[in-house]
Chain A
Amino acid sequence: MDVARYIKDEKDQIQDVILSSGIHVKAKYGPEDLEAIGFDHAKDVGEPGEYPFTRNIFAEGYRSREWTTRQYTGFGTPRESNERFKLMIAHGQTGLNVAFDLPTQMGYDSDHPMAEGEVGRVGMAVDSLRDFEIAFAGVDLHTVGAGLTINAVASIMLAMYQAVGEKLGFDRTKISATPQNDILKEVIGRGAWIYALDPAVKLIGDTIEYAITAMPKTNPVSICGYHIRESGATPAQEMAYAFGIANAYIDEVVRRGYHPEQFVGRFSFNLNIFGNLWEQVAKFRAGRKVWAWNLREKYGVQNPRNLWLRGLFAGGGSGLTKAEPENNIMRGAYYALAAALSGAQTTALCSFDEAFTIPTPRSALLSLRTCQLLMEEVGMRDTVDPLAGSYFIETLTKEMEGKIREEMEDIERRGGMLQCVKDGYVQRKVSRQAFEFESALQRGELIKVGVNKYVTEAEHEVELHEYNEAWAEEKIRDLQELRRTRDSKASAASLKALEQGAREGKNVMPFLVDCCRAYATVGEMSDVFRGVFGEFKEPSIF
């Protein structure tokens, strides 16, 4: 859900503003509003860096640490991706956010029939450890963290990341991977699911459990409200559903005898920014507070560091338009401003050409520069949580907190997030909202500039990233060469051990690391899971 709804009179004067989450905005706010909602500074806001973290998880915000920029990057073969990674790092980018192609995301090798036409198209094609060796060559994995946008086969990629670290001389306890690894949001919104849901959640539990001791700097799961909002959720639902999903993963690990204190500190979130600026800022301020409350009150987490809502707050693709695409550069800048005013630790922007295809080097650089300008020139590092104390923002934050809690309670009443996703409840709700939003936009009740107001007929030509079919041929040649030259006995044995471990319900991570070291392919490992776990069946949502 995007922009707010404006109710106007015949003179074009605004009578009411209704934000996506359903909150009405008044023409002015004053001390009486804070009084009316029972605002308590110490309880509701407190100090930055202290519970409930409404203001920021760090006491001095960006003074102590600038945000990390992580443009979503990767396409073609590992060679092309490696060049682009190094280019972005040379431009000052401080983390990687690796895009994988669809066959890799869906656990198919590049020469599988389902991969036809898709190899290297929307991300990097990865079949085996050999590809990671090429992709990360020359990148200092001790200082540059890597987000891995991979979900159904995230356990495989995390194992491969450890294996590539070993190969390139980096200690697994010092490297920091952030695999997305959030399967429930894939079912709600992004669609890259493979296995039946219960074993898929068990796999996530395996990665979290494994990371506690084996990869302590890794963030094994990045819970994504982002894609849920892209699919039609309101900002309040985005937060509430992300927290509901996080709780489902916590429960999976707690069931194994761990205390959340041992692992929730490594959870990170991937959250969305587009639409009304005030609503976004209030969403993140309220979100930090609700998350800290959730962990402390429901799970008994005490260590303040473990109560932090950490994450990537990224400018969302759904706010961008195909109409007058260069307007998206300005939209991105406002979304980045909202991210900075919200205290994002990590940020990225959808580039202006992403309404068409994946970004060119030029558009990706523009997005990176947009984020850098805010830190270097505009004053976003000056002081922490600059909007705190505003009658409007504090009132809105409190109202947003109420909305987020309402949506969380709705999910809990229905048996928790895993159950709601199995039932199709959340999918039905957000897809209905997406339709209602689209209808309101087309009736002109909601305004998007260049789409249904100030419309021009001219076609706007933009330079677009071109897919090169030769990448697929090269990739398939490399894969076949690998199958010929690897120690096939070792890879077959590692896969057999994986299958046995999976059948016995063991933590599969050590087996996967062995498979990766033996150059077993993503498709081979994924096929083991398909066989043992079975595939997910979508619930009917119409």
Chain B
Amino acid sequence: MVQAAQPPSRPATRGVPVSKRIKVLVAKPGLDGHDRGAKVVAHALREAGMEVIYTGLHQSIEAIVAAAVQEDVDLIGLSIMTGGHLPICRKLMTILREKGAGDKLVFVGGVIPSRDFDALRALGVKGIFPGGTPLQETIEFIRANVA
């Protein structure tokens, strides 16, 4: 199910060697199939020189964590449109810790009301980018938070 991204057509920016490129897993958890946003973000991160892996649709949290561990990504970005972001993130953070992958940085996008921001941060979600967030903001967040 995991779709490996092709290397970008132009070399990574800022002279970062290819082996040190930031590696991101963009994931669509659960049954929702609205993936326009996830794909737009995946395109944007790739254009910004990152290595992007897109899970495809209908992923269980277990499968997302397995892909993140197997691909040894730096970050996991979840796209959630259905309103189920709190239970989904709670479960993801738990399983990540169980698998010893609690160091992977998690960010979410989609339909995320501002009233849930604090609860998401309390769960350990580092970045929250609701629909309409400038793509550059997500890119800068990642660059600032991944050494």
Q: Judge whether B84 and A118 touch: CB under 8 Å.
A: yes
A226 / chain B contacts, CB cutoff of 8 Å: none
B36 proximal to A (CB < 8 A): yes
- Given A538-B57, A541-B3, A541-B39, 4 more A-B residue pairs with CB atoms under 8 Å apart are A121-B82, A121-B84, A192-B33, A442-B135
B28 / chain A contacts, CB cutoff of 8 Å: 191
1/0 per position for B40-70, CB-CB distance to A under 8 A? 1011101000001010111010000000000
Q: How far is the CB of B83 from chain A (nearest CB, A)?
A: 6
Pick the residue among B34, B42, B52, B113 that contacts A190 (CB under 8 A). Answer: B34
Q: Judge whether A117 and B87 touch: CB under 8 Å.
A: yes
A230 proximal to B (CB < 8 A): yes
Known contacts A117-B88, A121-B83, A538-B57; decide if A439 and B111 are in contact (CB<8 Å).
Answer: no
Q: How far is the CB of A127 from chain B (nearest CB, A)?
A: 15
Q: Chain B at the A interface: mostly helix, strand, loop or mixed?
A: loop
B145 proximal to A (CB < 8 A): no
A103 to B113, CA, bound (A): 23
Q: Judge whether A190 and B39 touch: CB under 8 Å.
A: no
A193 proximal to B (CB < 8 A): yes
Q: Judge whether A191 and B132 touch: CB under 8 Å.
A: no
Q: How far is the CB of A348 from chain B (nearest CB, A)?
A: 18
Q: Judge whether A438 and B4 touch: CB under 8 Å.
A: no
Q: Judge whether B132 and A232 touch: CB under 8 Å.
A: no
A selection of 18 A-B contacts at a CB cut-off of 8 Å is: A106-B31, A108-B31, A116-B87, A117-B30, A118-B31, A121-B82, A122-B83, A191-B32, A193-B57, A231-B36, A322-B130, A322-B131, A355-B131, A356-B111, A356-B113, A357-B83, A542-B3, A542-B6
Q: How far is the CB of B76 from chain A (nearest CB, A)?
A: 17
A467 proximal to B (CB < 8 A): yes
A24 proximal to B (CB < 8 A): no
B1 proximal to A (CB < 8 A): yes
Q: Judge whether A186 and B33 touch: CB under 8 Å.
A: yes
A467 to B111, CA, bound (A): 14
B114 proximal to A (CB < 8 A): yes
> How many chain A residues touch B (Cβ–Cβ < 8 Å)?
43
Pick the residue among B33, B40, B54, B88 that contacts A191 (CB under 8 A). Answer: B33
Q: How far is the CB of A151 from chain B (nearest CB, A)?
A: 10
The 5 lowest CB-CB distance pairs between A and B, nearest first, are A191-B33, A435-B43, A102-B31, A431-B39, A540-B3
A428 to B82, CA, bound (A): 24
Q: Judge whether A431 and B33 touch: CB under 8 Å.
A: no
A459 proximal to B (CB < 8 A): yes
Q: Which residues of B are interface residues toward A (Cβ below 8 A)? A: 1, 3-6, 28, 30-36, 39-40, 42-44, 46, 52, 54, 56-58, 60, 82-84, 87-88, 111, 113-114, 130-132, 134-136
Q: How far is the CB of A83 from chain B (nearest CB, A)?
A: 21
Contact residues of A between 86 and 115, Cβ < 8 Å to B: 102-103, 105-106, 108, 114-115
A537 / chain B contacts, CB cutoff of 8 Å: 1
A248 proximal to B (CB < 8 A): no
Q: How far is the CB of A504 from chain B (nearest CB, A)?
A: 29
Q: How far is the CB of A119 from chain B (nearest CB, A)?
A: 11
A321 to B83, CA, bound (A): 17
B134 / chain A contacts, CB cutoff of 8 Å: 442
Q: Judge whether A542 and B52 touch: CB under 8 Å.
A: yes
A464 proximal to B (CB < 8 A): yes
Pick the residue among A118, A189, A190 that contacts B82 (CB under 8 A). Answer: A118
* Chain B residue at minimal CB-CB distance from A462: B113
A435 / chain B contacts, CB cutoff of 8 Å: 39-40, 43-44
Known contacts A432-B43, A439-B44, A442-B134; decide if A102 and B30 are in contact (CB<8 Å).
Answer: yes
A115 to B35, CA, bound (A): 19
* Chain A residue at minimal CB-CB distance from B5: A542
Q: Judge whether B132 and A193 touch: CB under 8 Å.
A: no
Contact residues of A between 204 and 246, Cβ < 8 Å to B: 230-232
A165 to B16, CA, bound (A): 65
* Chain A residue at minimal CB-CB distance from B53: A542
Pick the residue among B5, B114, B130, B135 that contacts A438 (CB under 8 A). Answer: B135
A230 to B81, CA, bound (A): 14
A153 proximal to B (CB < 8 A): no
Q: Judge whether A434 and B36 touch: CB under 8 Å.
A: yes
Q: How far is the CB of A59 from chain B (nearest CB, A)?
A: 40
Known contacts A117-B84, A117-B88, A122-B82; decide if A438 and B40 are in contact (CB<8 Å).
Answer: yes
A323 proximal to B (CB < 8 A): yes
Q: Judge whether B58 and A106 touch: CB under 8 Å.
A: yes
A330 to B132, CA, bound (A): 19
